[in-house]
Amino acid sequence: MADIPTPTGRELEILKVLWDHGPASVRDVAERLEVDKDLAYNTVQTLLRIMEDKGLVAHQTRGRTFVYSPCFSRDDSASRFLDRVFDGAVEELVQSLLRREKISAEELERLQAMIADARKKRKPQ
């Protein structure tokens, strides 16, 4: 996998909007972030330009509007995080989460179901 740049906190907020809602204009991103005095429209525009320079997003022009898309999926970014922080060891990540997070019984059941599904998909037929 190509080296994915590390986004800042604000850049990650923008990426989450793009991952959750698909390609978007500066205005769409700003509205989804509920821009207030803390984060002006112009700031979102500047952040998207910086993110494009860093290789986090790319744009297409639709009329006079730039529409931005992430260059990497959420899964790509999560995989990079796993590699950087846990040297690719999924077990260490899970152990860390189980030790530090308050995970409800319902969430644990959903995780077990996801693991069971993954096992079924991995077994040769």
Could you tell me the two tokens for 52? 């494009």
**What percent of the chain is predicted at pLDDT more than 90?**
43
pLDDT of 1: 47
Nearest alpha carbon to residue 69 among 115, 123, 21: 21
Mean pLDDT confidence for 66-94: 86
* Assigned token pair, 33: 């972030």
Mean of per-residue pLDDT scores for the chain: 87
Structural domains of the chain, with CATH = 9-70 (1.10.10.10), 74-122 (no CATH)
Name the phi and psi angles at 124, rounded to 5.
-65, 140
Half-sphere exposure of 82 (CA within 13 A, CB side): 16
Position 92 pLDDT exceeds 70:
yes
pLDDT band at 11 (very low <50, low <70, confident <90, very high): very high
**Three-state secondary structure readout of 47-90:** HHHHHHHHCCEEEEEECCEEEEEECCCHHHHHHHHHHHHHCCCH
Q: So what's the pLDDT on residue 61?
A: 96
Please state the rounded mean pLDDT for residues 30-41: 76
Partner residues linked to 67 by β-bridges: 25, 60
Lowest-confidence region among 14-23, 43-52, 111-120 = 111-120
User: Is this structure's pTM higher than 0.85?
Assistant: no
* CA distances to 9, 23, 75, 82 from 85, in Å: 17, 29, 15, 6
Percent of the chain with pLDDT over 70: 94
pLDDT at 39 over 80: no
Q: What is the CB neighbour count within 10 angstroms for residue 111? A: 14
User: What letter represents residue 14's amino acid?
Assistant: I
